[in-house]
Amino acid sequence: MQTDSSFTFVLFGGTGDLSMRKILPALFEAHRAGGMLADSGKIVAVARHAADRGEYIQWVNEHVKPHVSKNGVDETAWSSFLERIEFVKIDLGNPEDFALLRDAVKDLPGIRVFYLATGPSLFVPICRALASVGLNENARIVLEKPLGYDLKSSNAINDAVGEIFAEEQIYRIDHYLGKEPVQNLLALRFGNALFEPLWRREWVESIQITIAEELGVEARGDFYDNTGALRDMVQNHLLQLLSIVAMEPPHSMDSDSVRDEKLRVLRALKPIDPLNIGKVAVRGQYHAGGIRGNAVPAYATEPGVKPNSTTETFVALKVEIENWRWAGVPFFLRTGKRLADRVAEIVVNFRAVPHSALGASALRAGANRLVIRLQPNETIRLYCLAKQPGEGMNLASVHLDLAFDQFFREGQMEAYQRLLLDVINGRLALFVRRDEQEAAWRWVEPILNEWKASNKPPKPYAAGTWGPAAASAMLAQHGTCWLEEEN
């Protein structure tokens, strides 16, 4: 991906955790690769925890450098990357300070990108302050999640930002959409005649989407206890992945064509019946347990968490899509903290053959499945049945690995690197449009309301397990189970 697009990338929250671990390392990788970032492009970090550029560069060397390049740091590339970085000390609570930013960027080249790696409470004040000094014109704004606490607060933020930036200037980022296997899912479906004819209710028995974490809430207890897994993961990441998996073929890969098809999926989600919520929605909270041999505390004892908290750290859902392609096919979504493994994957279980002359093993559920692994290692694996060597017709499961790293010499691009390049180059297809976000909130909000009204505590599960037993029971009712043995 070559570019000559000049840019000024303004990073709010320049000393924050996201900037340290993801954004600056991603920009460095694009810089190191050569040709991905225009030579004239500049990065302007905005923060109040450094006195000047020299102190900020020292912070970058100390805190960002350990997170770049798995194969070690090219010191020449690192030195030239640091030359791109400027620094402006600003108190975000003081709009008058934004005149300093205006003066700092007025002579810098290219399109201006403002990345808000801050808490959502600062989104609107920052946008208004940018507008007050004329920096919203011909610029792009990147908003991190969470964008609101519910539909009302999300709309309030979008309304306020929308008064300052046009929709085509707003990039609502969801880093899962930038992952290489998600891109390859689109290529598999829409670039090959093999899969697309099977991608429908006649041939698909069920689909699972899992995002599991070994970590707990870490130092974010205050934030998480007011958020929970449904808001933190389902409303954005999981529903976005579901829409990619289930969407109709777009007429092209331009931004609105792709997002129009995703929106149709989100609007076709079958509403959750409050009277039936216990059968299709499971929420849990981790208790004390062990992760890889280490004892870990219960959620309720984590710093910042209320001792009697009813916030869910685990969610499992059965979702249905009311359209011609997917009617009757259950989509099972699952996410949680302090689970048995760190994994994110999509599992497409195909239906068994209608009649087998080869024995009962050919009729078992999941004999044919496609597993798209997003993390920790990014792979796509197709399972099918084959004859075991020897006498008789005994079938065994075998798999085909789509090992992209063996076909393509260049390394896979990290999600944030791809998405940041898309922002700089004005490509919106992998970013969430406002109407998508609203559709997701409309579907999620009745679940939140019902859980709040019922006042029932989440189901307990021990840290280091795969969540409450009720999540497995929900799938057992449909003759299937979660795929948990892959590593």
485 has a pLDDT exceeding 70: no
Confidence category of residue 412, pLDDT binned at 50, 70, 90: confident
C-alpha dist (Å) from residue 24 to 10, 28, 82, 243, 399: 11, 6, 10, 29, 38
* Residue 106 and residue 212 share a domain: no
* Residue 213 and residue 132 share a domain: no
Give the per-residue pLDDT at 409: 64
* Residue 438 and residue 348 share a domain: yes
Give a yes or no: residue 156 inside a domain. no
Give a yes or no: residue 88 inside a domain. yes
Annotated active-site residue in 49, 175, 237, 399:
237
Q: Which residue has the higher pLDDT, 386 or 229?
A: 229
- 314-319/369-375 β-pairing: unpaired
The structure tokens listed for 190 are 């829409």
The structure tokens listed for 1 are 């991906």
Interval 289-308 mean pLDDT? 93
* Cis, bond preceding 303 (omega within 30 deg of 0): no
Confidence category of residue 59, pLDDT binned at 50, 70, 90: very high
Q: Which residue has the higher pLDDT, 209 or 365?
A: 209
Asked if 471 contacts 334 with a C-beta cutoff of 8 angstroms, the reply is: yes
* Residue 197 and residue 135 share a domain: no
Helix (H) or strand (E) holding 188: helix 180-191
Average model confidence (pLDDT) across the chain: 91
Instruction: Summarize pLDDT for 442-468 with one digit per residue, the tens.
Output: 999 999 999 999 888 999 999 999 999
Pick the last residue of a domain from 120, 144, 168: 144
* Residue 268 and residue 135 share a domain: no
Give a yes or no: residue 383 inside a domain. yes
Interval 41-55 mean pLDDT? 93
Residue 477 buriedness (CB in 10 A; 0-12 / 13-18 / 19+): exposed
* Residue 437 and residue 329 share a domain: yes
* Residue 197 and residue 132 share a domain: no
Give a yes or no: residue 448 inside a domain. yes
Instruction: Summarize pLDDT for 377-400 with one digit per residue, the tens.
Output: 778 899 988 888 887 788 888 888
* 22 vs 9: CA distance, rounded Å: 15
Give the three-class secondary structure for 438.
Answer: helix
Residue the block writes with tokens 């098809």: 261
Interval 57-74 mean pLDDT? 88
* Residue 266 and residue 387 share a domain: yes
Instruction: Summarize pLDDT for 154-174 with one digit per residue, the tens.
Output: 999 999 999 999 999 999 999
Interval 11-27 mean pLDDT? 95
Q: pTM for the whole thing?
A: 0.92
* Residue 258 and residue 116 share a domain: no
* Residue 193 and residue 78 share a domain: no
Q: Which residue has the higher pLDDT, 70 or 196?
A: 196
Question: Please, what sign has the CA dihedral across residues 402, 403, 404, 407?
Answer: negative
Give a yes or no: residue 100 inside a domain. yes
CATH code for the domain in which residue 78 is found = 3.40.50.720
Confidence category of residue 71, pLDDT binned at 50, 70, 90: low
Give a yes or no: residue 85 inside a domain. yes
Secondary structure (H, E, C), 327-369: CCCCEEEEEECCECCCEEEEEEEECCCCCCCCCHHHHCCCCCE
CATH code for the domain in which residue 328 is found = 3.30.360.10
* 300 vs 309: CA distance, rounded Å: 6
Interval 71-79 mean pLDDT? 87
The structure tokens listed for 140 are 């792009």
Helix (H) or strand (E) holding 259: helix 255-267
Angle between helix 123-132 and helix 151-162 axes, rounded to 10 deg: 10
Known active-site residue 237 = yes
* Residue 214 and residue 123 share a domain: no
Pick the last residue of a domain from 123, 144, 165: 144
* Residue 192 and residue 139 share a domain: no
Asked if 409 contacts 381 with a C-beta cutoff of 8 angstroms, the reply is: no
Query: What is the Cβ-side half-sphere exposure of residue 112, based on CA atoms within 13 angstroms?
Result: 21
First to last CA, the chain: 32
Give the per-residue pLDDT at 466: 97
Interval 297-306 mean pLDDT? 94
The structure tokens listed for 160 are 């306020």
Pick the last residue of a domain from 97, 127, 144: 144
Give the per-residue pLDDT at 474: 96
Domain of residue 303 covers 177-412+433-476
Q: How many CB atoms lie within 10 A of CB 429?
A: 18
Q: Which residue has the higher pLDDT, 434 or 404?
A: 434
Helix (H) or strand (E) holding 47: strand 42-47
Count of domains observed in the chain: 2
Lowest mean pLDDT among 60-74, 345-359, 402-416: 402-416
Give a yes or no: residue 378 inside a domain. yes
Give a yes or no: residue 423 inside a domain. no
Confidence category of residue 487, pLDDT binned at 50, 70, 90: very low
Residue the block writes with tokens 């109709």: 248
